[in-house]
Amino acid sequence: MKTAIKRIIPFIIAAAAACMFFSVFFVYLLAIAYPPYTLYQHEQYLASDNLDGRFVGTAGIFEAEEYIAGQFARAGIDPLPGDDDFYQEFTLQRFGFDRGKTSCSITGKPGSFTISLGENYRPLPFSDEGAAAGPLVFAGYGITSKDDNWDDYNGIDIKGKIAVVFRGEPKTVFSGTRPSRHSFFQTKAKNAHSHGAAGLIIITTPFNNDRGEDFRLDERYFLPGAVVSPRKPVPNRSFPSIQISTNLADKFFSSMGTTIDKCIRELDNKTPASEFILKDFSADIQVSMLEQPENMTARNVAGFLPGNDPELKNEWIVVGAHHDHLGSYDGTGDTIFNGADDNASGTAGVIELARYFAPRQNELKRSMVFVTFSAEEVWLHGSAAFLEKELPAGVKIAAMCNLDMIGRNPDGPLEIIRRTPLPHFTKIVNEAQAKTGQFIYYYSLDSDYFSDDMSFVKKKIPTLFFFSGTHEDYHTVDDESDRILYNVFYKRIEYIKEIIRLLARENLFD
């Protein structure tokens, strides 16, 4: 028996080696036959359930950072000058909501309602500290848009009262494939405050909720000396904003003789919100933060390719994207915010650009930095921390290219948002279009969408923000890798490659 086993061992080893060879060969052929394959690989890993939504400070984001650093090493780029590895650690101060001092009570015709922090209500992440007490007033979707001839506050006296609004927007009016800015929670808070409301309650409707509702208590993160201030919907004012459960909100609508579903249908058919009267309901809301923060460590991942021009090599082109997302929560079914488009797509793009330029380093006049940022979703702190790092003597950042959400909306343009002037921008865009044969790109001087380029804007560094727009899966658990349009994604990366190549070689400022 032993002799027989010894005889077959070489065959087993040969078979294993053959399988390994053909597996590698198959992947090689697949990469040739299907150029977006490596983007697909990065997406599949970064947006997998195993990384649990890549929230800052978690094991999942740590694994994502290890993967990115490994890809940089394989690409053949080096850590930044003066760094021993690809990681740039920084400290965040984490403040949580004070459970003992944060409260909400709601009373109405049936009496007081049981409301429990973290179970059927939560302060929204951007909520101000402070108190609001008063009658509840239903204000539809909480939207005012002159361009769309829509004003939920028309005919409603909201001054000194608490506005109750639905999440989202009416599809019959805002019918695009992407949510408009009016659907954003902060936009609703600003609008309620501008109409004189004392506070805001947002309801997640059944159309937004089929997996259980996320009532995790969000925390606030601060970076001492950050170039971006913490987000506040209403600067320098006390305006508490909370979210309540659908089950709790059902009681409001029962008192109005309707249901949430019916109310939404009527609103979408342009029945004014003023026709839905909440009688004898009031709330007392108190939102407080903990006084003492907890320090935590986060990491950016950064690599470097030196330029070859004796003078221009000290002008760095930064190519960045954020790799963090929203994490996960307890509930039924899928409760992981995978963040495939936001922003595994941009992160995969940065990896792929590093892989492309590393063997072409001799073509570069300017040096290039490839970096993925942590803590973007908790307000751009990773990019702010990156800019706090002291540059080598004589070095400056000449321009920054930010990739955020570039894998969806195939029928729309890839937007290039430039919030700061770059004199030769139009020339570079035209040359890139001529080289790639792609003429579908759109650029603007401003945008309501915030991303890591804003940290560079604050430092007066020219920026280009590549963005393909929001969509119905934005910041939901449905932002999955199987919804990325990989052929379109690849073409966008090809275009961005040419833009960056020109930035690294051409005259930018004269």
pLDDT of residue 330: 82
Amino acid, single-letter form, for residue 34: Y
Per DSSP, the three-state class of 318 is: strand
| CATH at 413 | 3.40.630.10
Sign of CA dihedral 292, 297, 298, 302: positive
Amino acid, single-letter form, for residue 134: G
pLDDT of residue 412: 87
pLDDT at 230 over 60: no
Which of 21-35, 62-76, 366-380 comes out lowest in average pLDDT? 21-35
| Reported confidence tier of residue 228, pLDDT bands at 50, 70, 90 | very low
Domain limits at 155?
A: 103-287
Count of the separate structural domains present in the chain: 2
pLDDT of residue 10: 62
pLDDT 10s digits, 178-199 = 788 899 999 999 999 999 999 9
| Reported confidence tier of residue 446, pLDDT bands at 50, 70, 90 | confident
| Reported confidence tier of residue 455, pLDDT bands at 50, 70, 90 | very high
Q: Are residues 345 and 266 in the same domain?
A: no
Q: Are residues 170 and 191 in the same domain?
A: yes
Q: Are residues 277 and 299 in the same domain?
A: no
pLDDT of residue 101: 93
Q: Are residues 348 and 216 in the same domain?
A: no
Q: Is 21 within the bounds of a domain?
A: no
pLDDT 10s digits, 235-275 = 445 899 999 999 889 888 888 888 999 999 999 999 999 99
Domain boundary among 287, 312, 342: 287
Mean pLDDT of the chain: 88
Q: Is 97 within the bounds of a domain?
A: no
Q: Is 329 within the bounds of a domain?
A: yes
Tokens of 371: 């970096």
Residue 32 vs residue 340, higher pLDDT: 340
Q: Are residues 143 and 69 in the same domain?
A: no
pLDDT 10s digits, 210-225 = 556 889 888 888 887 5
Q: Give 97: exposed, middle or buried? Use CB within 10 Å, 0-12, 13-18, 19+.
A: buried
pLDDT 10s digits, 466-475 = 999 999 899 9
| Reported confidence tier of residue 141, pLDDT bands at 50, 70, 90 | very high
State the maximum Cα–Cα separation within the chain, in Å, rounded to a whole number: 93
Q: Are residues 441 and 358 in the same domain?
A: yes
pLDDT of residue 164: 97
Q: Is 225 within the bounds of a domain?
A: yes
Q: Is 485 within the bounds of a domain?
A: yes
DSSP 446-489: --S---THHHHHHTT--EEEEE----TTTTSTT--GGGS-HHHH
Q: Is 311 within the bounds of a domain?
A: yes
Q: Are residues 450 and 370 in the same domain?
A: yes
The stretch 17-39 carries a mean pLDDT of 59
CA distances from 175 to 35, 180, 229, 270, 469 (A): 34, 9, 33, 14, 15
Most confident range, picked from 88-97, 224-233, 337-346, 427-436: 337-346
Domain boundary among 253, 287, 321: 287
pLDDT of residue 257: 86
CA gyration radius for the chain?
26
- Catalogue the long-range contacts made by 105-114 (C-beta closer than 8 Å, 24 or more residues apart): 105/283, 105/284, 106/136, 106/248, 106/281, 106/282, 106/283, 107/281, 107/282, 107/283, 108/251, 108/252, 108/255, 108/280, 108/281, 108/282, 109/255, 109/279, 109/280, 109/281, 110/251, 110/255, 113/248, 113/251
Helical spans, DSSP H, in 86-231: 185-194
pLDDT 10s digits, 58-91 = 999 999 999 999 999 999 999 999 999 999 999 9
Any idea which residue has 């020339």 for tokens? 427
| CATH at 198 | 3.50.30.30
Backbone angles phi, psi at 446, to 5 degrees: -155, 170
CB under 8 Å to 432, separation ≥6 — which residues? 495, 498, 499, 502
| Reported confidence tier of residue 382, pLDDT bands at 50, 70, 90 | very high
CA distance 193 to 233: 9
Q: Are residues 250 and 384 in the same domain?
A: no
pLDDT of residue 178: 73
Q: Is 393 within the bounds of a domain?
A: yes
Helical spans, DSSP H, in 76-222: 185-194
The stretch 293-318 carries a mean pLDDT of 96
pLDDT of residue 225: 53
The stretch 113-119 carries a mean pLDDT of 88
Q: Is 239 within the bounds of a domain?
A: yes
pLDDT of residue 110: 66
The stretch 433-446 carries a mean pLDDT of 81
Q: Are residues 430 and 469 in the same domain?
A: yes
Residue 168 vs residue 200, higher pLDDT: 200
Domain boundary among 235, 266, 287: 287
Q: Are residues 228 and 317 in the same domain?
A: no
pLDDT at 23 over 70: no
Q: Are residues 120 and 77 in the same domain?
A: no
Q: Give 4: exposed, middle or buried? Use CB within 10 Å, 0-12, 13-18, 19+.
A: exposed
Q: Are residues 261 and 358 in the same domain?
A: no
Report the percent of the chain where pLDDT is more than 70.
89
